[in-house]
C-alpha cells in the first residue's frame, strides 16, 4: 500500500480558504490565485478522496457534513505543518 500523501498541503490550504471565504471566487482573491486554479484544486481534492465536500447554495459553497469534518482535520494538519516549519526555522538558526 502506498503511504505517500495523495493531497498536498497547498490543496488543503485551498480547501480551508474556500470554506472560510464561503466560495471559490472569494478564496481565490484571498489566496491571490485565479478562480480556475482554486476550482481545479477543490475538484481534484474531492476526486482523490471520493467525497462531495461542498454543496452550492446560491453563490456560496457550503461544506457538506463530510466537508465540515475534512475542514476540521485540514485546519489541524495545516497548524501542525506550520508548527513543524517554526521548529525547523529555530533549529536552522541554532545551528548557524
pTM (2 d.p.): 0.86
Beta carbons within 10 angstroms of residue 83's beta carbon: 10
Beta strands in 25-81 (DSSP E): 54-57, 60-63
Element (H, E) at 10: helix 9-21
All 3 cell numbers of residue 11?
490543496
- In tens digits, the chain (96 residues) has pLDDT values of 566 668 999 999 999 999 999 999 999 999 999 999 999 999 999 999 999 999 989 888 999 999 999 999 999 999 999 999 999 888 888 887
CA distance 50 to 79: 24
Amino acid at each position: 500500500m502506498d503511504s505517500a500523501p495523495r493531497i498536498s498541503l497547498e490543496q488543503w490550504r485551498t480547501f480551508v480558504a474556500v470554506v472560510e471565504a464561503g466560495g471559490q471566487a472569494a478564496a481565490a482573491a484571498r489566496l491571490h490565485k485565479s478562480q480556475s486554479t482554486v476550482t481545479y484544486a477543490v475538484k481534484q481534492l474531492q476526486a482523490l478522496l471520493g467525497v462531495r465536500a461542498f454543496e452550492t447554495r446560491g453563490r456560496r459553497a457550503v461544506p457538506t457534513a463530510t466537508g465540515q469534518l475534512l475542514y476540521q482535520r485540514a485546519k489541524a494538519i495545516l497548524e501542525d505543518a506550520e508548527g513543524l516549519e517554526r521548529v525547523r526555522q529555530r533549529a536552522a538558526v541554532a545551528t548557524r
